Every structure is written in structure tokens, then in C-alpha cells.
């Protein structure tokens, strides 16, 4: 184990003791053995990991991330949806976020590592903690071949790592487009830091990210 990982585990242990209300169990996922090739332009990645408030909240504090948008992915390309429709659980869409990042500062593989370390439990099928239904599934939506190879390889890697008791159920899904959520769902964690749901389920995720990845964390979130 690298010294930086050992320090992250010590910080995480202290966090667990100090935080009585926790979301998904934070796990220090391994460094990806296969990553998407870096480019000289901003890239976009799409993740689904339960309620998008917390997913957006964590990724917006990652150094190198320029923008995070909450929305929906995974359903039919030709169907327009909104929050109420997706909440019914029968549209095929999942709550998701679109992350615009600078691969010169943070790689796609690093985003995957953050996602599985503190954002989503990859062993819970069609739910994340209090939210149940296919709209809350964890899924990766690669936008190019490099992301697809990295995502597939990383799921296999964490599946063999034995960090979770149950099997990995997160899947790589075909990207059919992304639809933005309504304005009042954007930057929800930043705008509503004392909201009961945010305090109970999402603040611990952000605290775990800060403790486990201090060199990646930035205090001021992206726009």
C-alpha cells in the first residue's frame, strides 16, 4: 500500500468515528490500472449513482472539474423526461450527472476512483441507501472508446479487489443522451447545505472525499 493510501485510511477511520450519520460506506478504491488517454481539451463524463444531489455535490469539489450538471441518462433517446416522470421508475432513465473536466488535471480513471470510493455503493442493485428504483441505479455511461475501456476494466478491477462483501452490480450502459434536470435541482447541495436529506446522506460523502483525497479536494465548488 502506498504511503498516501495509508494516510487516507487513517483519515477515513477518524472520520467514521466523528460522523454518526453516514451515507454509503466509504471505501478506498484502487488506482485504475487502465485509464482513458489524456487529451488537450475538456472532456465530459456521465455517471449515475443514486440521487444526483450528492453525486453532483462531490464531483463539483474535485480539482480539474469545470462543471457538473444534474440530469437524466440511460433511457430512450427520443423520449423527453422530467423529474416527476423519472421518479416513477418506468422510463428507463436514471438520475445522473454530466461532468466536464480537464484531463490534464484529473483523469477519467481518477473520477471513477472517487465515484466508487465515496459516492456510490456498486453492490446495491437499483438503489442507493434510502432511494429505491431503477432511476437510482449506479451506472457508467462512456462517451468514447477510451472511457468505455477504462470503465469496463475498472469494474473488473474493483470486482477482484474484494473491498465489498457482495458482487459488483454497477454496469456500463450505452449512452443515449443526457437531459438536464430543472434549475431548482442544479447545485442543490451548495444552495441547500442544511437540507435534511443533504445533511443525512450527502455531507458525509463530501467529508469522506475530503479526508480520503485531500490533494484532489478543493473548497470552492465548480459552477
pLDDT tens by residue, 188-218: 999 999 999 999 999 999 999 999 999 999 9
pTM: 0.89
Residues near 10 by beta carbon (within 8 Å), at least 6 away in sequence? none
Is 21 buried (19+), middle (13-18) or exposed (0-12) by CB count in 10 A? Answer: exposed
pLDDT of 2 strictly over 70: no
Is-contact 48 141, C-beta < 8 A?
Answer: yes
pLDDT of 50 strictly over 60: yes
Give me Rg for the CA atoms of the chain: 16
Q: Mind listing the domains of the chain with CATH numbers?
A: 3-212 (3.30.1060.10)
> In terms of DSSP H, where are the helices of 106-216?
108-114, 145-161, 188-191, 196-197, 203-212
Question: What is the model's pLDDT at position 12?
Answer: 42
Average model confidence (pLDDT) across the chain: 91
What CA–CA distance (Å, rounded) separates 45 from 144?
Answer: 9
Is-contact 101 62, C-beta < 8 A?
Answer: yes
| Three-class DSSP category at 101 | strand
Q: Which residues belong to the active site? A: 51
Using pLDDT thresholds of 50, 70 and 90, give the confidence band for residue 223.
confident
What CA–CA distance (Å, rounded) separates 179 from 183?
Answer: 12
Give the chain's end-to-end CA distance (angstroms, integer).
35
Q: How far is CA 206 from CA 11, 126, 200, in A?
A: 13, 22, 12
Question: What is the model's pLDDT at position 202?
Answer: 97
Question: What is the model's pLDDT at position 134?
Answer: 98
- pLDDT above 90 covers a percentage of the chain that reads 87
Amino acid at each position: 500500500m502506498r504511503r498516501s493510501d495509508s494516510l487516507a485510511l487513517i483519515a477515513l477511520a477518524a472520520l467514521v468515528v466523528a460522523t454518526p450519520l453516514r451515507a454509503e460506506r466509504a471505501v478506498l478504491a484502487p488506482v485504475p490500472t487502465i485509464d482513458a488517454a489524456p487529451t488537450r481539451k475538456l472532456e465530459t463524463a456521465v455517471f449515475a449513482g443514486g440521487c444526483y444531489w450528492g453525486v453532483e455535490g462531490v464531483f463539483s469539489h474535485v480539482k480539474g472539474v469545470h462543471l457538473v450538471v444534474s440530469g437524466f441518462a440511460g433511457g430512450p433517446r427520443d423520449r423527453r423526461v422530467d423529474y416527476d416522470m423519472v421518479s416513477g421508475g418506468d422510463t428507463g432513465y436514471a438520475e445522473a450527472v454530466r461532468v466536464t473536466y480537464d484531463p490534464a488535471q484529473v483523469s477519467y480513471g481518477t473520477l471513477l476512483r472517487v465515484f466508487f470510493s465515496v459516492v456510490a455503493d456498486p453492490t446495491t442493485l437499483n438503489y442507493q441507501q434510502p432511494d429505491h428504483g431503477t432511476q437510482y441505479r449506479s451506472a457508467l455511461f462512456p462517451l468514447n472508446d477510451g472511457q468505455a475501456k477504462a470503465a469496463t476494466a475498472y469494474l473488473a478491477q474493483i470486482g477482484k479487489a474484494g473491498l465489498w462483501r457482495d458482487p459488483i452490480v454497477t454496469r456500463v450502459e450505452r449512452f443515449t443522451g443526457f437531459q438536464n434536470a430543472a434549475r431548482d435541482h442544479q447545485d442543490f447541495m451548495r444552495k441547500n447545505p442544511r437540507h435534511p436529506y443533504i445533511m443525512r446522506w450527502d455531507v458525509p460523502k463530501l467529508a469522506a472525499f475530503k479526508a480520503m483525497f485531500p490533494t484532489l479536494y478543493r473548497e470552492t465548488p465548480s459552477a
